[in-house]
Amino acid sequence: MQKQFDRFMNSMKEGGYYLLGVQIRRDGEVVHDWSRFAAKPRFESYSSSKTFAAVGVGIAIDEGLIHLDECISDSFREETYDVVNPNALSMTVRDLLTMSSGMSQAMFFRDGYERAHTRDWVRHIYKEGQFEHTPGTQFLYNNVNTYLLSCLVEKKSGKNLCEYLRYRLFEPLEIHNPDWTICPLGHTVAANGMAINTDEMGRFGQLLLNGGVFKGKRLVSEKFVQDMMSHHMTSTDFIPGDVPTPAGYGYQIWIDQQNDCAYLWGVFGQYCIILPNRNTVITITALQEDDGGSNGLYNPSPLRAKIWEELVIQR
């Protein structure tokens, strides 16, 4: 593995990739660890935070606060009292987890107008969102889904998602004083906005690899983690390879069935790749401008292609 790691780091240097941190955990131990900064500061993890939100949903399910097939609108009557579209009213927790809410157009992009100018996001989603599909039938990657799940957990627990998870997830993972962006009404954005470092992300990946257990303590049920890391939808993103194929999608996590792994992904190069068959977690933090996902079947992110070629694909 040392030669493989050295080869990868050389490829990153030769290719001019701007990495912030790289960590590989195997059999529960950190076996390779590189950081651009000695202090290992936290950076925005972008959409990697979606998977943290999914585990939060799993914990809420374990506690009996919510269930997979409940309708989201049932908990937001004050926001949906005049909504008549049956698709908008019938989307469930499961639909949001799998990015199949029924919406035909994504909303609340990280740098979008709505995010900076809308106060009540839930009301805006139900009134302005385009719900043209039956929930559960169409994949659409959408920040709205994760945000609504966050609001649901808050509605049922009385705490925003970040606070709900403080002692249920973050502290047990030694992620102290979590930093997660809130919307104007104080709800955790969840779809992005979490500051985290490579070590912290790696420990979260270890939790998933262990089926919901970290350092002997169960934080979320094994059943939920197994279901979460299973293929539920075929996405519009692609896995690098000799013939790139569509990635699967679980519960707010990407699925690579070809290489038997699941992965968190945030724009600009935030990856946490869980490889159960190799008992390995690969975590990469980067600021790579052209890592914006796949730009077509044969034009995936150059950084992702290198990660898969050097570290993920077994030949």
The per-residue pLDDT for range 187-198, each reduced to its tens digit, is 999 999 999 999
Question: What pTM was computed for the model?
Answer: 0.96
Give the rounded percent of residues in the chain with a pLDDT score beyond 70.
97
Give me the pLDDT at residue 298, please.
43
The per-residue pLDDT for range 61-72, each reduced to its tens digit, is 999 999 999 999
For 50, 94, 95, 101, 255, the CA distances from 249, given in Å and listed in that order, are 12, 12, 12, 14, 5
* 106-112 average pLDDT score: 91
* 119-143 average pLDDT score: 98
Question: What are the residue ranges of helices labelled H in the chain?
Answer: 2-14, 49-62, 77-80, 86-90, 93-97, 113-117, 121-128, 143-157, 161-165, 198-209, 222-228, 302-307
The per-residue pLDDT for range 22-70, each reduced to its tens digit, is 999 999 999 999 999 999 999 999 999 999 999 999 999 999 999 999 9
Mean of per-residue pLDDT scores for the chain: 95
Nearby residues of 28 by Cβ (< 8 Å), 6 or more positions away: 206, 210, 279
Ordered structural domains, the chain, with CATH: 2-41+197-312 (3.40.710.10), 47-178+186-192 (3.40.710.10)
The per-residue pLDDT for range 260-314, each reduced to its tens digit, is 999 999 999 999 999 999 999 999 999 999 998 554 444 568 999 999 999 999 8
* 160-183 average pLDDT score: 98
Give me the pLDDT at residue 299, please.
54
Give me the pLDDT at residue 300, please.
66
* 79-107 average pLDDT score: 97
